[in-house]
Amino acid sequence: MGAAGPSNDVLDEIFNRTINSRSIFLNRDVLRNDYIPDHILFRDDQISQFGSILAPILRGNKPSNIFLYGKTGTGKTVVARYVTKKLYERILKLNLNTKFLYINTRLASTQYKMLVELGAQLDISLPFTGLSLSEAASRIFDKMKRDGINTIIILDEIDYIVKNYDDNILYEFTRVNNELLNGNFISIIGISNDLKFKEYLDPRVLSGLSEEEMVFPPYTVDELEAILTDRIKTAFRPGVVSESAVKLCASLAASEHGDARRAVDLLRVAGELAEREGSDVVDTDHITKASRSIERDRTYEVIRSLPLHGKLILAAVLAAVLAAPEDINTGRLYSNYTSMARSLGVEPLTQRRISGILSELDVLGVVNAPVVSNGRFGRSKRVKLVVPREVVSRALQEDELISSILK
């Protein structure tokens, strides 16, 4: 056999297998994170409550601002998108000049990018730099006024933007009044994965935003199993996913809190692993392997995509763990953080903001931070790192600035 022989054979085999075998998937898109299922199970109460709060739009009246709370994977995004999609169908039929805008603030990553994205959804292009936040916001308001439109703005994962920046821009949006908009309105739907998030909001912003509140409880194991079973029908060919695999998937996804996102992600990754192995079933082994691979990737990605101060705080946690693993109190943490920030020529944030970012890291499952009230530190609080040190260190090293102080 020639030198190129074996590798060609391997490739041929892979390609032939793909061509000759049927995919175990019927439609893998229904396992994507942004897929809106036709049936949303166990959320009838939230759907009807949310629908009733928004229904006045159909008569041209301003609905209350609403806050949706619940841990990750409790169906907040999917319910909000489902209800607003249905409402929008009615709005089109009625020929109303009303628009829904949707932003995930974590994905937008900065307040300014969030405004650029809002602008884009209204067909105005804001320059990528050069405007102050309030100038950018006024251009958005001007456009709404010129077009005479009512807008409902969904700010998903709103806790991210507030904890990592401040709430001034939200204040502008809650404060904007009839006069400024020429009789039109803006309603805000805020969605937060952190139930404690309210403590980080200025009381003026909080009262403006949470005229109505809805809570999404975690799913039970049985509910997760039903959600998975329903999704499997459209995602996989019949009989591909074993019953024990579904059970394992549901119980892993319920181990911290009943998290449907984790359940669906596990199923997707397990399916991909099975397909790559050429297996025509998805079994418990695939779920177990998927779980390990998701955890590793998730922690790494979460840390790598933190904003600068989030990374600095984590670097400070890491330094504290290495110095005295049993005793990371927030005082030590704050002084580590402050000196690290200064050594990079970065102005340190206030303790209140740091406390907000720590709580965000807690929600993301990177640290265990004590519950604090009013966004302030208590003296005796302890912080714990709950992911492997080497993953933290490896992810932080990827940031040039941070890696210079880790040495």
Ligand X SMILES: Nc1ncnc2c1ncn2[C@@H]1O[C@H](COP(=O)(O)OP(=O)(O)O)[C@@H](O)[C@H]1O
Near ligand X by CB under 6 A: residue from 261, 289, 298, 352? 261
| Burial (CB count <10 Å: 0-12, 13-18, 19+), residue 9 | exposed
Rule CB under 6 A: choose which of 78, 87, 188, 274 binds ligand X: 78
The answer to whether 221 and 251 have CB atoms below 8 angstroms apart is: yes
Interface with ligand X includes 264 (CB under 6 A)?
yes
Answer yes or no whether residue 74 interacts with ligand X by CB under 6 A.
yes
104 counts as binding ligand X under rule CB under 6 A: no
Please identify, using beta-carbon distances, which residue of 83 and 319 lies nearer to ligand X.
83
Pick from 228, 387, 202: which is nearest to 304 by CA? 387
Contact 78, 230 (CB under 8 A): no
Minimum CB distance to ligand X smaller for 31 or for 170: 31
68 binds, among Mg ion, ligand X, none (CB under 5 to 8 A by kind): none
70 binds ligand X (CB under 6 A): yes
Size of the site for ligand X (CB under 6 A): 19
Residue 43 binding ligand X, by CB under 6 A: yes
Task: Tell me how far, at minimum, the Cβ of 344 lies from ligand X, in Å.
Answer: 33
- Half-sphere exposure of residue 182, counting CA atoms within 13 Å on the CB side? 10
Print the binding letters for residues 3-42 with ligand X: x by CB under 6 A, - otherwise: ------------------------------x-x-x--xxx
Q: Name which of residues 136 to 165 contact Mg ion (CB under 5 A).
A: none
| Least spacing, CB of residue 336 vs ligand X, in Å | 32
Query: Rounded CA gap, 316 and 103, in Å?
Result: 31
The annotated binding site is made up of 74-78, 219, 231
Rank residues 176 and 270 by Cβ distance to ligand X and give the closer one. 270
112 with 161: CB under 8 angstroms? no
AA letter at 27: N
Q: Which neighbouring-strand residues pair with 68?
A: 191, 214
* Sites for Mg ion among residues 39-78 (CB under 5 A): 77
Cα–Cα distances (Å) from 358 to 68, 196, 302, 361, 389, in that order, read 21, 12, 14, 5, 17
**Cα–Cα distances in Å, from 220 out to 75, 259, 287, 290?**
13, 9, 19, 21
Describe the strand order of the beta sheet including 212-216 as a list of residue ranges.
Answer: 98-104, 150-156, 186-192, 66-70, 212-216
Helix axes 330-343, 308-323, angle to 10 degrees: 120
Structure tokens at 341: 């920030």
> What is the C-alpha separation between 295 and 315, in angstroms, rounded?
20
Between residues 76 and 311, which has the closer beta carbon with respect to ligand X? 76
**Cα 348 to Cα 315: distance, rounded to the nearest angstrom:** 14
| Number of residues counted as binding Mg ion (CB under 5 A) | 1
Place of tokens 């194991």: 221
Smallest distance from the beta carbon of 28 to ligand X, in angstroms?
13
Binding to Mg ion (CB under 5 A) within 76-95 occurs at 77
Residue 90 contacts residue 58 (beta carbons within 8 Å): yes
Given Mg ion, ligand X, none, residue 300, with its beta carbon under 5 to 8 Å by kind, binds: none
Q: According to CB under 6 A, which one of 25, 53, 57, 73 is a site residue for ligand X?
A: 73
Q: Does 75 bind ligand X (CB under 6 A)?
A: yes
Neighbour-count burial of 213, counting CB atoms closer than 10 A to its CB (0-12 exposed, 13-18 middle, 19+ buried)? middle
Closer to ligand X by Cβ: residue 135 or 222: 222
Does 291 engage in binding with Mg ion (CB under 5 A)? no
Q: Which of 76, 268, 311, 353 contacts ligand X by CB under 6 A?
A: 76
Q: Does 192 bind Mg ion (CB under 5 A)?
A: no
Residue placing its CB nearer to ligand X in the complex, 223 or 399: 223
x-or-dash string of contact with ligand X, 217-236, rule CB under 6 A: ----------x---------
CA distances from 153 to 37, 72, 92, 322 (A): 22, 20, 17, 44
Minimum separation from the CB atom of position 73 to Mg ion (A): 8
Partner whose footprint covers residue 74, from ligand X, Mg ion, none (CB < 5 to 8 Å by kind): ligand X
Closest CB to ligand X among residues 43, 309: 43
Q: What are the residues binding ligand X (CB under 6 A)?
A: 33, 35, 37, 40-43, 70, 72-78, 227, 260-261, 264
Q: What are the residues binding Mg ion (CB under 5 A)?
A: 77
